[in-house]
Structure 1
Amino acid sequence: MQFTENCNSIFSQSIEKYHIKDHVDTPIENPFEKEDIQHLLYLKNWIDTVQWHLEDIIRDPNIDPVEALKIKRRIDASNQERTDVVEYIDSWFFEKYKDVQVIPGASINTESPAWAIDRLSILALKIYHMNEEVERKGASEEHKAACTTKLNILLEQRVDLSTAIEELVNDIAAGKKFMKVYKQMKMYNDPSLNPVLYKEGK
């Protein structure tokens, strides 16, 4: 599992780095060259990590409504950036395997490599924070036991997802699967497609 082992290692590196300061305004310090796929993987997880904590903040029942709106709009922007990076990663795969001869009967996968990697990145965050709950001081033994059970399931899920991604990439490399890069064409951020936005322009 060379590729996904690399992914999981980079995601852990990003998450650990974020939690040194543990603040949503911490600037990213990507240690990888921009031309490297590792740069995109680190960026992807950093976006996810910041958004994870923004989602925590906005669920504070005592949050100021004005501040909540600011965070909601920040989350929307983060979602767009996340989608863009996923598409960059898929474009990397598409370029890497563009000359592969597709064999007769090859099929397209329901999910592209990058969207599967997106799930792997989120899974890394779930594992990190569930482990925090297992080790949380002052938590009851019942809480820790329940979180340990969930953590073990998440770890198993990471193995399964990593295996599936490796198989997909290997199938693409062998011509057994082929891929396309679709732009997500999100509508809510586009002033020409979101009715609320284009009505304002009238």
Structure 2
Amino acid sequence: MISTTANSIFQRAIADYHVNDAIDHPISNPYDLDSLEHLLYLKCWIDTAQWHMEDVVRNPDIDPKDGLYWKRRIDKQNQVRTDTVEYIDSYYLQKYADVAPMADAKINTESPAWAIDRLSILALKIYHMEQETHRTDVDQAHIEACQQKLNVLLEQRQDLSQSIDELLADIQAGKKYMKVYKQMKMYNDPNLNPVLYGAQK
């Protein structure tokens, strides 16, 4: 089951990141460069670094210049995240390239990689919500509220994991087929963002 592999890799990436807990600490991906596992680890590392960038930029006392710096870093990181998701989808497109869809095969609302993207983000939510349940500087009401949220997140991971496994099984059996749309983000493209191409005139 891919979800079992993905969840295990996500947990490892998050744990590895938090050894140093530094946004700019270099990644040390333990998986072979050409493997799906490598992409999954990279994807979660990117998400984890971006999670902490989002924490920094939300500091109400942040200097506006620093805030702009972090906002631009988040934009760049989000583009890398999107590219990595598309690499994962390319893996599955190639893997199932020879599968002939059934006549009544249906398309899914999202590609496998974008579902896996949500699973990676969910792993981060679970990690950080669990950290909240271990705090000693808050009252019991906070701990109990966070534990309830953690229980929901764990259930959500179970449901999403099952859905991803079922989607890939259906694609492999020809019951569903993949159709991937590139994200075509416009705000980073100097040819598509009016502010950017207007500044070039």
Give TM class, smaller chain: over 0.9
Letter in 2 for 1:41: L
Q: How large is the Cα RMSD of the aligned pairs? A: 0.6
Corresponding residue for residue 54 of structure 2: 55
* Whole-angstrom CA distance in 1 between matches of 2:63 and 2:142: 30
Q: Distance in 2 between matches of 1:183 and 1:149?
A: 37
Q: 5+ unaligned residues in a row in structure 2: which ranges?
A: none
User: Shift of the alpha carbon at 1:181?
Assistant: 2.1
1:115-130 mapped onto 2 (5 Å cutoff):
115-130=114-129
Secondary structure of 1:99's match?
coil
Q: Which runs of 5+ in 1 are unaligned?
A: none
Q: How many residues align?
A: 201
| TM alignment of 1:15-94, pairs within 5 A | 15-94=14-93
With normalisation by structure 1, the TM-score equals: 0.98
**CA distance in 1 between partners of 2:128 and 2:98 (Å):** 41
Deviation at 1:101, TM superposition (A): 1.4
Q: How many angstroms apart in 2 are the aligned matches of 1:77 and 1:33?
A: 25
The within-5 A match list for 1:1-202 is 2-202=1-201
> 2:185, 2:145 → 1: CA distance?
38
Superposed CA deviations along residues 120-152 of structure 1, whole A, max 9, x for unmatched, are 000000000000000112221000000000000
SS state at 2:28 partner: coil
Structure 1 residue ranges, 4+ long, deviating more than 2 angstroms after superposition: none
State the distance in 1 between where 2:135 and 2:9 align: 25
SS, match of residue 63 in structure 1: coil
Q: Deviations over 1:16-49 (max 9, x none)?
A: 0000111111111100111100000000000000
